[in-house]
Amino acid sequence: MTLPRCVLALALFGCLLAHAEAAPWVAGLHHMSLADPVDGQPMQALAFYPAVGKTHSRRMDGYPIEVAEEAPAALGQFPLLVLSHGNTGSPLALHYLATSLARRGFVVVAVVHPGDNARDHSRLGTLSNLYGRPLQVSAAITAARDDALLGPYLNDGKVGVIGYSAGGETALILSGARPDLDRLRQYCLERPNDADACRTHGVLIADRSELVPMADQRVGAVMLMAPLSLLFDRHTLAGVRLPVLIYSGDSDQLVAVDRNAEALARKLPVIPDYRLLAGAGHFVFMAHCDSEQSARMPALCKDAEGVDRRDIHHSLQRETAAFFSQALGAPQPAERSAAASMPRQPQR
């Protein structure tokens, strides 16, 4: 008897979820430094990867993490993912996701966007930030493939991009979307009280007018959380023809869901997997706060009654691993492939 395609697809996804639950490795942490393609200055990135060794607890950017710093990489061939954080944010806010994916066999390179991170806000509201962020992610992809520690264990397949908030905008540009700046102007005329999107009143500072949106053909799948995406319509999204997984909270207090995630899910040329989380706000995707963080930044730590951040993160970790395994190919530990046990030369 021939099973319907939908049943086979559900069975495959169930198998991938079961595989994603397994975590045979520890999360390694590798510090990377590369040149910012916008101005040539040093740019930092954190790489989380499947490693062998003993983990240690440490605090980075205020977040407690459990990693094996600069530990030997596990043998195998692993998919590469790149993470783009939100405006004025830190990739460490998503450490739970990056370390979980590393333990499941993905290499996750998290860029610290110059001029738009927790310590430096100098590029907010500028063209160099809008168009520079995707260039920085592309530079991180190249750097990871050339890296002596990571490169030999990256597979030759497409790359996945994870984008949170403004990182969603970055991921879409990398996937072939082209921002329409007039949409921002019009939006800010309609909703001038949106302090996040309209901090420059709908007009970006043309500090680097020669920069243009640059897609990266190496990108093969995208996962978005509370994406900022109001700059795009059906026409400007026409080039995005790859698998997309979208998460958003229906009570997002920072990014208007109706004009961002919901509109994006309707307009993408390839129907995405869209998950709308009941009662969840914008910051539910950030790491669970300890007592120190809750006292220091309560607005980012407190969720609505009935919203379980830990439970959401647990599902998100499993489902993201399954999504990228299906879209990019599953991680291949060395014992599953004789070829995988032999490190190859890094490729750009």
Q: What is the DSSP letter of 345?
A: P
Residue 315, CA distances (Å) to 225, 257, 259, 306 in order: 13, 21, 25, 16
Q: What is the domain class of 31-341 according to CATH?
A: alpha beta
Q: What are phi and psi of 180, to 5 degrees?
A: -110, 105
Integer-rounded Cα Rg, in Å, for the chain is 19
Residue 116, CA distances (Å) to 125, 158, 266 in order: 10, 27, 29
pLDDT, position 1: 45
User: Would you say 47 and 111 are in contact if contact means Cβ atoms under 8 Å apart?
Assistant: no
How many other β-carbons are positioned within 10 Å of the β-carbon of residue 54? 8
Residue 117: partners with Cβ closer than 8 Å, 6 or more residues away: 85, 88, 89, 90
* Maximum distance among all Cα pairs of the chain, rounded to whole angstroms: 63
Which H helix or E strand runs over 5?
Answer: helix 5-21
Bridge partner list, 76 = 333
Side-by-side strand order, sheet with 273-277: 56-60, 63-69, 26-35, 42-51, 107-111, 80-84, 159-164, 219-225, 244-249, 273-277
Q: What is the DSSP letter of 38?
A: T
Residue 330, CA distances (Å) to 13, 21, 92, 161, 348 in order: 12, 13, 25, 16, 21
pLDDT, position 348: 52
Along the chain (348 residues), what's the average pLDDT of each consecutive run of 10 residues? 47 48 82 98 98 95 96 97 97 98 98 97 96 98 98 98 98 98 96 90 93 97 98 98 98 96 98 98 97 93 96 98 98 66 47
